[in-house]
Amino acid sequence: MTDLPMTRRGAVLALMAAAHAAVAAQAAPAPPVSTLPGDSVYRLRPRIVDQDGHAVDLASMRGAPLIVSMFYSSCDMVCPLIFETIKQTRMALPPDRRERVHVLMISFDPERDTVAQLKETAAAHGCDSHWTLVRASDADVRQIAAVLGVQYRRLPSGAFNHSSAILLLDRDGRIAARTGKLGEVDPQFVDVLARLA
């Protein structure tokens, strides 16, 4: 503990620091109340960019059901199957209801899935305007996976070891259904989707 010179200036500075500390130590004012339900995935505010280079606000997906999954472009085993399964799942709905259902695909691999790569991958899988493919920072990807309950890790080869899950978010971003069934449509998933669409 150092000995303070008791100059007037020193005293004023010390008092200012103390006042600052006192204010911070008091209960800070309440944050603005969100209208999103407490279990809405949209409470997360990651910085994501789509295949056209536009920043996407996750909460802007609110208002319609959303099919979500995670992938990476250089995956040739399961991820293509995820795309196909989601397509088939949307096709299980009649055209007018199908219209309302959008798809969000988040890449595990921001390093290699650049905006240009995302655009290529979208085209390769025949993704129409209902599909948004996005990239985010490693830290944000970790959070998105955490909130969706997806497990993944990067392998030294640059490939990813990840669990395959297709999720359905309701109009407010709550997880309404989840399936691990790939290559065929999950009837229970479609049931929930039909009710929400």
Partner 1 sequence: MRARNVLAALLLAAAGLARAGDYAALPGGRFESVLPQGDLPGVSVPVTLAPFELRRTPVSVAEFLAFVRAHPEWRRGTAPAVFADARYLSHWSAPLEPPAGAGALQRPVVDVSWFAARAFCESEDARLPTWLEWEYAAAADETRTDARADPAWRRRILAWYERPGGAALPAVGGQANAHGVRDLQGLVWEWVDDFNALFIAGDSRTQGDPDVLKFCGAGAISIIDRDSYAVLMRVAFLSSLNAADTTSTLGFRCARSLPGASR
Partner 2 sequence: MSMSTVADRMRRGALSIGCLIGLSLPVLAGAAGRTAPGDFGPPRGEPIHAILTSPPNVPPPVARNYPAKVIVELEVIEKEMQISEGVSYTYWTFGGTTPGSFIRVRQGDTVEFHLKNNPDNKMPHNIDLHGVTGPGGGAASSFTAPGHESKFTFKALNEGIYVYHCATAPVGMHIANGMYGLILVEPPQGLPKVDHEYYVMQGDFYTQGKYREKGKQAFDMEKAIDERPTYVLFNGAEGALTGDKALKAKVGETVRLFVGNGGPNLVSSFHVIGAIFDEVRFEGGTNVQKNVQTTLIPAGGAAVAKFRTHVPGSYVMVDHSIFRAFNKGALAILKVDGPEDKAIYSGKELDSVYLGDRAAPNLNAVAKATASSEKGTLSLDEQIKAGAELFNGTCSVCHQANGAGLPGVFPPLAKSDFLAADIHRAQSIVLRGLTGKVVVNGSEFNSVMPPMTQLNDDEIANILTYVLNSWGNPGGRVSSDDIKQRRAEPAAAATAAH
Q: How far is the CB of 96 from partner 1 (least distance, A)?
A: 31
Which partner, partner 2, partner 1, none, binds residue 80 by CB below 5 to 8 Å per kind?
partner 2
> Measured in Å, how far apart are the chain's first and last C-alpha atoms?
66
Question: Which among 43-51, 80-88, 102-110, 154-162 is the span making contact with partner 2, rule CB under 8 A?
Answer: 80-88
CB of 80 to partner 2, least distance (A): 5
Q: Does 8 bind partner 1 (CB under 8 A)?
A: no
**Following DSSP, what letter does each residue of 78-144 receive, concatenated?**
SHHHHHHHHHHHHHTS-HHHHTT-EEEEEES-TTT--HHHHHHHHHHTT--TTEEEEE--HHHHHHH
Q: How far is the CB of 182 from partner 1 (least distance, A)?
A: 6
Does 149 interact with partner 2 (rule: CB under 8 A)? no
User: Under rule CB under 8 A, which residues in 97-126 are in contact with partner 2?
Assistant: 120, 123-126
Which positions ≥6 away from 150 have C-beta within 8 Å? 70, 162, 163, 165
